[in-house]
Amino acid sequence: MTEIPEHLLKRAQAARDKAASETEAPDSAGAAPADSRIPEALLNRSKAAASGVAVADRATGVANSAPNGNSPLGTGPGGHTQRLLTVVKSGSIQDVKAVPVDKVHTWPHLLGIEFVAALACTAFTFLFSWFVNAPLLQAANFNQTPNPSKAPWYFLGLQELLTMFHPMIAGVTIPGVALISLMFAPYMDRNPSNKPEDRKFMTSIFTVHLMFWAVLVITGSFFRGPGFNFTFPWRDGIFFDL
């Protein structure tokens, strides 16, 4: 049997002494003190039970005694027949979260899905290139340069900027500012909402970036003719291989 700590025994003894002093000194009307928190009916019942146990112990002291004759059976350390019960609140021993957390770890929840999507895209590209031939032109002839000479569509935006600005500005400054602004955009708008109507700042930045680049690509593809001069496709035709 585990022994009760000494400070708990002293605390329980002090509580019993205080309760005994309050019950032995009733007021003039014979009732329990007004500041006592124990109802009188419970005190009377406890006294009756204690007197009955004492009489039973005296009558059957030999039968209830331990083999060594030191103390009756059912007693704790030091001969005490009472135990101190302590109520511990759940918050002090465990962390209870009333609001569930709607966040998950990046690995494996997000990266696992992205890895499977990358494998699926790679497999689709491999199968598509197997059955469909790329529209390649004939070998390049360095003695005959095509006019106009246009870059692939994903570089036509840069080629269009070169007709308007200095190469340092068109090829380095403007694309660099655009990429840096896109990288810092999540730190400028820290709104956790996923609704488009709540993310007007991010929506505006991405719309401006997309439309700026789309206009340059469309202009370089369909509105540039021989010598990379401006032309109208419905009048002079389209000088771009789709």
Q: Model confidence over 124-176: pLDDT tens digits?
A: 999 998 988 877 778 888 888 888 888 888 899 999 999 999 999 999 999 99
Query: How crowded is residue 160: how many other Cβ atoms within 10 Å of its Cβ?
Result: 23
Per-residue model confidence (pLDDT) at position 32 = 46
Per-residue model confidence (pLDDT) at position 168 = 93
CATH number of 146-242: 1.10.287
Q: What percent of the chain has pLDDT over 70?
A: 70
**pLDDT range class, residue 63, cuts 50, 70, 90:** very low
* 78-115 confidence digits (pLDDT tens): 555 665 566 556 555 555 556 666 777 888 888 999 99
Structure tokens at 29: 């009307």
Measure the CA–CA gap between 125 and 106, rounded to whole angstroms: 27
- Where does the chain have alpha helices with state H? 6-24, 40-59, 61-64, 111-131, 156-162, 167-168, 174-188, 200-222, 233-236
Query: Mean pLDDT score of the chain, rounded to an integer?
Result: 77
Task: Confirm if 233 and 220 have CB atoms less than 8 A apart.
Answer: no
Closest CA to 160 of 216, 224, 211, 114: 216
Per-residue model confidence (pLDDT) at position 182 = 83
